[in-house]
Amino acid sequence: MQKLRSKLGFICDMDGVIYHGNTLLKGVKEFVDWLYANNKRFLFLTNNSQKSPKELQQKLARMGLTVPEHNFYTSALATASFLKSQGGNTAYVIGDAGLTNALYEVGITLNDVDPDYVVIGETENYNFESIKKATALVNRGALLIGTNSDITNPTEHGEVPACKALVAPVEYATGKKAYYVGKPNPLMMRAAMERFHAKGIHSADVAMIGDRMDTDMIAAIESGLDPILVLSGVSTRDSVKKFPYRPRLILNGVGDICDGD
């Protein structure tokens, strides 16, 4: 555990690591206090595209945590950056405000007639009409993008469908595979690490803390970060055994980091 505590930087997933829905997880406040007390650099990195960094800041504030807006990075921001780099101008979006606002901020406008892209992220407004529209547009040539490849998200009421589950009907109906931007895509991880490189902190000095083997841990391993799995989200000790790679440490939650050995 001392090796983990000596890291200069921490990248933390949010769903299943910091909270379930609107419920702060045990030990999180103590962990955040420990980060500040030990002058650690940290970034909350989420595949969920629904909320903007400002909204995430406000959400944590309602839970009693003070975290600056610049300490958040989302798959919505990564998706917007990717589409801008590809020369995209228009998109048909199935998603919430965090995604549409990120696209607007880089100059990508919404278009449900002849868009360059169909972009799908998590949303509370998923319906058959939007699936039909997305299918028709992809069949007419729009390129299919998923903000992330998570199949489910943990909430205080149990697991709910996430982005990849929402994209799947359009993939099956069109025969076209989506390109997923969020973790474990290196695009997302490089954008995150740029925040640390600016402070002179490199991959070997950064721990990635997440609850998913298929996104968080593989992203950490492939990016040269210290892979730390917590069991406060979707993973169990038994489910870890199904994967051909391993985290360096398995913890009950982030509170273990500051609780002692």
pTM: 0.92
Helices first, then strands: H and E counts in the chain = 11, 15
Q: Is residue 15 annotated as part of the catalytic site, yes or no?
A: yes
pLDDT value at 260 more than 70: no
Catalytic residue among 13, 96, 214, 256: 13
Domain coordinates of the chain in residue numbers? 2-47+183-259, 76-180
Q: Is domain 76-180 given the CATH code 3.40.630.30 in the classification?
A: no
Q: Which CA distances in Å does 76 have to 31, 101, 121, 147, 163?
A: 26, 9, 8, 6, 12
Interval 71-108: pLDDT, tens: 999 999 999 999 999 999 999 999 999 999 999 999 99
Closest CA to 176 of 105, 117, 227, 253: 117
pLDDT tens-digit readout, 17-71: 999 989 999 999 999 999 999 999 999 999 999 999 999 999 999 999 999 999 9
Half-sphere exposure of 18 (CA within 13 A, CB side): 22
| pLDDT tens figures, 180-238 | 999 999 899 998 999 999 999 999 999 999 999 999 999 999 999 999 999 999 999 99
The band of 154, judged by pLDDT with boundaries at 50, 70 and 90, is confident
Higher-scoring residue by pLDDT: 125, 58: 58
Q: Does domain 2-47+183-259 have CATH number 3.40.50.2000?
A: no
Fold match flag (2-47+183-259 vs 76-180) = yes
Q: Of 15, 211, 216, 226, which is the active-site residue?
A: 15
Query: Is residue 112 among the annotated active site residues?
Result: no
pLDDT at 159 (0 to 100):
84
pLDDT at residue 82, rounded to an integer: 96
Q: How high is the pLDDT of residue 155?
A: 79
Q: Which residue in the block uniquely carries the two structure tokens 């999180």? A: 28
